[in-house]
Structure 1
Amino acid sequence: MPLQPFLKQIEHTLAPVRHVMKPLLSDPVVMGVWAFLVVLSTGTLLWDIRTRNQELPSMMKGVWALVVLYSGPFGLAVYWYSGRTQISNDSLWRRGFRSTAHCYSGCGAGEVTGFALLAGILALQSTLAVTAGTFALAYTFGYALTVGPLMQEGVGFREAMLDALYSETPSITIMEVTAIGTDLLIASQAHITDLLFWGALAFSLSVGFVFAFPVNATLVYFGVKEGMKNPAEMGERQQKSRGQATD
């Protein structure tokens, strides 16, 4: 099937989603409540990290901050379930959530930058140009979040880049196809000054997370990705260090 008719068929099939979500994401009251929940969730996250989870690596603190900024209470729930040192035990699901959060933080930054810059500030009229540019930025940010830490550990750029391409491409692709597709479905005609522009962008990010999670869990299960470290082990090491210092 040619691409254009295929995309039109998808748009027609998902039209009920647009009819439901467009008024909600344009409503000042709804978006005001959402903004309040994001602020409250972000404050809760920062308080918890500062008072109970200082053992988390700096990178993961940044990852969780972005996840909660993008997805508010949903992001906070993911952190509470899988990212704290107080988790009772690690599991495939928790590792999958942490891996998705890591990918999400970088790709989300690329998507926000892409839409805000290309569709908003530059006001490009070509949907293809906005989509391609946003995809490129999402991949760039997503890969950078893997390549950078690997190079800091002494891995060469070529090896780090190959590792990122191998382990991150499937999840980034699914995340961005669903997230960017959702944004274009709901707000392709919205301007940067419209509430819908930002509401659809926030909603689309969480949609991308949901669809990328099973991909990441599968990659972790088959050993394609290691998944992020178990935070409970970091907490145990920190407690042992404190106990030795006290002795």
Structure 2
Amino acid sequence: MPLQGLLTQIEHALAPVRHIMKPILSDPLVMGVWALFVLASVVTLWWDIRERNQALPSLMKGVWTLVVLYSGPFGLAIYWYSGRSQISNDSLWRRGFRSTAHCYSGCGAGEVLGFALLAGLLALQSTVLVAAGTFALAYLFGYALTVGPLMQEGVGFGEAMLDALYSETPSITIMEIAAIGTDLLIASQAHISDLLFWGALAFSLSVGFVFAFPVNAVLVHFGVKEGMKNPAEMRQSGGQAQAAD
């Protein structure tokens, strides 16, 4: 089949990546050090939110927590650049990062659940079924993170769903093609008890973020997505509210 032939060619072209990353992502020392970096990054995030950024909405606190859990220091750097109320000025790049982080938090949860459930616990051998099921869960979680808040603001389900389909589908699709493709390329034969299974999953999440960022930046630029609210404005609003009290 033409599609199967294309996938085979892509796999062969990316074989050097697999040969490089497999030993790294299955090395206990490397993954242990990475786990410590992730833990330190999460602690730093929570300290900063508690001490300096209480004005951030609960949703975004949760979003940034997931981003840092998925990507460790990389996720913390993105938060520091674009998600804190202390940023000096907002920009397209910062809005693009916030928009990608919002999408990433939900889609990442769907991807982790998909691989852990389908490839891990159920031990499905079909790459197509694992990929399709993980895609479906990533879309479900990604859309839910947009539809839920909109409905809380009083928007009807149908309108909220149309908004999510319109604004989130391009970035979710690119993110998951990159992330799921990377995971299957590196660890398609790994079992849930293998360190490579989890190492490749963590690495693939960050790859998905990198590929989705330019898509989100373009969508924000053309007004398809808002890019999440400027956190500096939240800080100012909080300060004004306290002054009024």
TM-score range, shorter chain: over 0.9
- Aligned pair 1:158/2:158, yes or no? yes
> Counterparts of 1:225-236 in structure 2 under 5 Å?
225-236=225-236
Sequence identity percentage: 82
Match of 2:38 in 1: 38
Match of 1:172 in 2: 172
Mapped to 1, the partners of 2:66 and 2:160 lie a distance apart of 23
Match of 1:72 in 2: 72
> Counterparts of 1:19-98 in structure 2 under 5 Å?
19-98=19-98
> Counterparts of 1:127-142 in structure 2 under 5 Å?
127-142=127-142
> Counterparts of 1:185-224 in structure 2 under 5 Å?
185-224=185-224
CA offsets, 1:9-35, max 9 Å, x none? 000000010010000000000000000
Question: Which amino acid in structure 2 is aligned with residue 13 of structure 1?
Answer: A
CA offsets, 1:127-177, max 9 Å, x none? 111010000000000000000000000100000000000000000000000
Match of 1:240 in 2: 240
Secondary structure of residue in 1 paired with 2:70: helix
CA offsets, 1:92-146, max 9 Å, x none? 0000000000000000000000000000001111111101000000000000000
Mapped to 1, the partners of 2:234 and 2:107 lie a distance apart of 26
Q: How far off its partner does 1:239 sit?
A: 1.5
Match of 2:16 in 1: 16
Mapped to 2, the partners of 1:171 and 1:97 lie a distance apart of 12
Q: How far off its partner does 1:241 sit?
A: 2.1
Mapped to 2, the partners of 1:241 and 1:3 lie a distance apart of 58
Question: Which amino acid in structure 2 is aligned with residue 47 of structure 1?
Answer: W
Question: Which amino acid in structure 2 is aligned with residue 178 of structure 1?
Answer: A
CA offsets, 1:196-223, max 9 Å, x none? 0000000000000000000000000000
Mapped to 1, the partners of 2:81 and 2:125 lie a distance apart of 41
Mapped to 1, the partners of 2:234 and 2:84 lie a distance apart of 10
Question: Could you state the TM-score of these two structures normalised by the residue count of structure 2?
Answer: 0.99
Secondary structure of residue in 2 paired with 1:21: helix
Q: Is there any run of 5+ residues in structure 2 with no aligned partner, and where?
A: none
Q: How far off its partner does 1:56 sit?
A: 0.2
Match of 1:103 in 2: 103
Q: How far off its partner does 1:37 sit?
A: 0.2
Q: How far off its partner does 1:227 sit?
A: 1.1
Secondary structure of residue in 2 paired with 1:125: coil
Question: Could you state the TM-score of these two structures normalised by the residue count of structure 1?
Answer: 0.98
Secondary structure of residue in 2 paired with 1:56: coil
Q: How far off its partner does 1:85 sit?
A: 0.2
Q: How far off its partner does 1:237 sit?
A: 1.2
Match of 1:147 in 2: 147
Secondary structure of residue in 2 paired with 1:55: coil
Question: Which amino acid in structure 2 is aligned with residue 19 of structure 1?
Answer: H
Secondary structure of residue in 1 paired with 2:227: coil
Aligned pairs, number: 245
Q: How far off its partner does 1:240 sit?
A: 1.9
Mapped to 2, the partners of 1:226 and 1:56 lie a distance apart of 17
Mapped to 2, the partners of 1:106 and 1:55 lie a distance apart of 22
Q: Is there any run of 5+ residues in structure 1 with no aligned partner, and where?
A: none
Q: How far off its partner does 1:36 sit?
A: 0.2
Mapped to 2, the partners of 1:154 and 1:2 lie a distance apart of 47
Secondary structure of residue in 1 paired with 2:90: coil
